[in-house]
Structure 1
Amino acid sequence: MQRLHLLALNPTDSVTEGFLPAAARLGLAVTLLTDRPAAHRRAYRGDPPPALEIVHCEVGDFREVIGRISAMGPPPDAVFSNSDHLQVQTALAADYFGLPGKDWRAALRAKNKAQLRRALAAAGQDAVRFAELPPDHDPQDILDTVPFPCVLKPREGVASEDVVLVEEPARFAGHCAAIRERRPGEALVAEEYLDGPLFTLETLGDGRTLHTLGSFRTRLSPPPYFTERRLDLLPRPQHPHADRILEQLRALGIGFGACHTEYTVHRGRARLIEVNYRAIGDHCDLTLAHALRLPLFELILRTHLGEPLPGQLGACSGGRVRIEYVCAERGGTLRTAPGPSDIRSDGVRLVYRPLRQTGERHPLYRTNRDYLGVIRATGTDQDRIDRAVRRFLASRRWEIE
């Protein structure tokens, strides 16, 4: 039996509902390396995946990952992670054991937003004005180089956490201080605000061919924050904008495994926002696989086992998708919320999954941690999908006290 070593931090739906079942279907034994083993044991207690071993490991340190895998016996057949934070470590471990994997340099360029901008500019692909603020520097030190309005963000952050639009220099130092209070010791990046509607490009490569799977149109919360509220799968990726983004991905060295890229279109020009060198999350990957009728998670794992991808994948489909997140608008205790449901009516399948349990108390994060639940609506007619989502939202209640 082939063995997959899967690196993870906290449990996610992508792993629990996507990659672990896919590994079981492929007949793989899975060793899950994590620094949070208790959380994973709780997550799988009710329905544990077959042939799963959970092992404690400081997965943020590639040296610990390599040492732990080496100590466990025969070399693995694949080393994989779907975590934004663990792509470099996973790539280095795969390379150490001579296994297929991502180029660690490309993974680093995607993760480090300052390196991303430098690499694209050096390749002549796109030049976005930005300033980097090291942890021990005063915001005033870089104020003259910050392009206003700017988007201030952690240099290696994810999921719009602590990402804020800063309109004027007088507010810059205050926003830097607020982020540093929550993230001591982290570097920040302030880059020019790229206007225009937001889109995603979902790709999958095997190191030889880079396939476009699909593209979403993303709706965000009002500025100054950037929480994703809704995504709609486009009938086909935009051209020539998708082609332009693919050029930039190749310039970054990205072409192995799954990649989720965000970009805007302004005045006919595609501008890359960020690259997440893993599959799209927050239930979008699960819904995309269903809409494309594609064994997406199996294909991703197969690339890490060294198997070539089929000749044609995704890119357009008769399926339509709307993903909507029910968000908390204030902090407090969730008192009333609907349970999970799976409704089929008028040619639409609408799946609702709660993401927060009643009785839980939370502050207002202004990130995807504010999600109370997610609606996944699929069908072939966008108007019917939209009506189904509106009916569902109008007939349910979410109350925060």
Structure 2
Amino acid sequence: MHILMIECNPNGIAGIAAALELGHDVTLISADPDFYRAVSPLAEDAFTHPRCRVLQSDTAFSLEVLERIVADLHTHHPVHGVMTYSEYHTVHAAAAAGALGLPAMSVEGARNARHKHRTRRALENTGIRQPRFAHIEHLADVEAAVRRIGFPCVIKPSDGTASLHVVHLGSEDDLARYLATVAGVTDYGRGVLRIPDLLIEEFVPGELVSVEACVLQGGKVVNLGVTDRVMSGFPYFLEMGLTFFGDHPLREELYELNKNVLAQLGIDFGFVHVEYILGPDGPVLCEVNGRLTGGVVPSLMKITSGGVDPYLEVIRQALGEEPELPFPGAVIASGRWFGSPVAGTVKALDFTRLDDLPGFHEAQSYRRPGASITALSTSNFDWLGHLIFTGANRDEAAGRAERALDLVGLDIAVEVAR
């Protein structure tokens, strides 16, 4: 089979590697293949594999251009499945697959998930709890919208991901600093232009969780499990840890709500990741992502399900097969990310003190020695690496991972101003 991947994400390179190992052909369309080589230890071997083709294009992310590229590719090497692990490219994958008549989420559903203002508008007057919000298309209108919603509030790009440019605003000064920053942001890299739309939302206090689900061919929603999230960096929203499990006390309420959300948005196919704030009056919808959850969560799902690989199941579903679903099992897995307190250059990362700890599963660095890094400060893009530990339950797995962070050796060269 020939699989077309519309961009990827760093951990998703494991999916390309798994597909190649099974004998599939893979074509990756990317504006910047070197991005993956810099952050994934699997990328170089995958990209040089004889059945992998990397098609670099700076213009492919115009839907019109992409559909021409895909049609030409299909003529010379028939495509059997189209997919992406990238939040930025879910609409592109849906459009390309639809143009070829292949299994995919509807483009309308993909757009409703991809653009946060569309999510909010589609769910107005449905009874689904959402924050009060204002949708802004021009920076000149932001101040008035913030005054309508009131402080404290949260401001975010409608097309963002990884908590990038998502900020809690508590005052006029916070707003002025935010506007000065976001005014200069025109793109997210890898050929992805930022749309001007912003959302201003009331701040809803509460724990953040997500429901991981899969919508089967025909529209049946299967909820897989709940992922809790450890947040840090206020007024920014950095994810620093999470656990995938199945016995959350609000599971049944969250599962029923999730089915309703996906149906109302027209999300009719594929793995999806939906975030909720557990507010004082019950779960409040935070955002919807029309793709497999990111970060280390697919690894946690594989561990606790006894080996079901979500990256591979996304591919199998795109090929028209019935996916095997990764439900949480008796062993629970938890991950923690870490970063640097200062900007500098990586000299070394040492994980040797973790090897003999109970439940230790994996430790991975995202930066090689000699790489320049930023301080962990504003978004998930500041991560340097992660740890994964297992346990008999959520508390044991999470506690082991949290304690192990103190044992990571991080050697950073810092340039001292003179």
TM-score by length of 2: 0.86
Could you tell me how far apart the structure 1 residues matched to 2:311 and 2:244 are? 18
> % of aligned pairs identical?
24
The SS at the match of 1:118 is: helix
Shift of 1:153: 0.8
Paired residue for 1:317, among 318, 329, 333?
329
Structure 1 unaligned residues grouped into runs of 5+: none
Could you tell me how far apart the structure 1 residues matched to 2:398 and 2:99 are? 49
**1:57-76 correspondence to structure 2 within 5 Å:** 57=57, 58-72=59-73, 73-76=76-79
Q: Does 1:146 align with 2:142?
A: no
Instruction: Report the CA distance shift for 1:390/1:189 in structure 2 as closer, same or farther (over 3 A).
Output: closer
Shift of 1:386: 4.8
**1:1-400 correspondence to structure 2 within 5 Å:** 2-8=1-7, 12-14=10-12, 16-17=13-14, 19-39=15-35, 44-46=43-45, 48-49=48-49, 51-57=51-57, 58-72=59-73, 73-135=76-138, 137-183=140-186, 186-208=196-218, 209-237=220-248, 238-293=251-306, 294-309=308-323, 313-338=325-350, 343=355, 346=358, 348-364=359-375, 365-382=377-394, 385-386=397-398, 388-389=400-401, 392-400=404-412
Could you tell me how far apart the structure 2 residues matched to 1:353 and 1:175 are? 33
Shift of 1:147: 3.5
The SS at the match of 2:378 is: coil
Could you tell me how far apart the structure 1 residues matched to 2:96 and 2:326 are? 30
Could you tell me how far apart the structure 2 residues matched to 1:143 and 1:385 are? 40
The answer on whether the counterparts of 2:153 and 2:169 sit within 8 Å (CA) in structure 1 is yes
Shift of 1:69: 1.9
Query: Greater CA deviation, 85-94 or 301-310?
Result: 301-310
Q: Alignment length, in residue pairs?
A: 394
TM-score by length of 1: 0.89
Structure 2 unaligned residues grouped into runs of 5+: 188-194
Name the residue aligned to 2:191.
none
The SS at the match of 1:24 is: helix
Deviations for 1:187-214, whole angstroms, at most 9, x for unmatched residues? 2211111211111111112233221121
Query: Greater CA deviation, 253-262 or 388-397?
Result: 388-397
Shift of 1:374: 0.1
Shift of 1:55: 1.1
The answer on whether the counterparts of 2:128 and 2:285 sit within 8 Å (CA) in structure 1 is no
Could you tell me how far apart the structure 1 residues matched to 2:341 and 2:100 are? 47
Could you tell me how far apart the structure 2 residues matched to 1:170 and 1:231 are? 32
Could you tell me how far apart the structure 2 residues matched to 1:224 and 1:99 are? 43
The SS at the match of 1:389 is: helix
The answer on whether the counterparts of 2:137 and 2:197 sit within 8 Å (CA) in structure 1 is yes
Could you tell me how far apart the structure 1 residues matched to 2:353 and 2:267 are? 38
The answer on whether the counterparts of 2:354 and 2:407 sit within 8 Å (CA) in structure 1 is no
Could you tell me how far apart the structure 1 residues matched to 2:25 and 2:354 are? 31
Shift of 1:168: 2.8
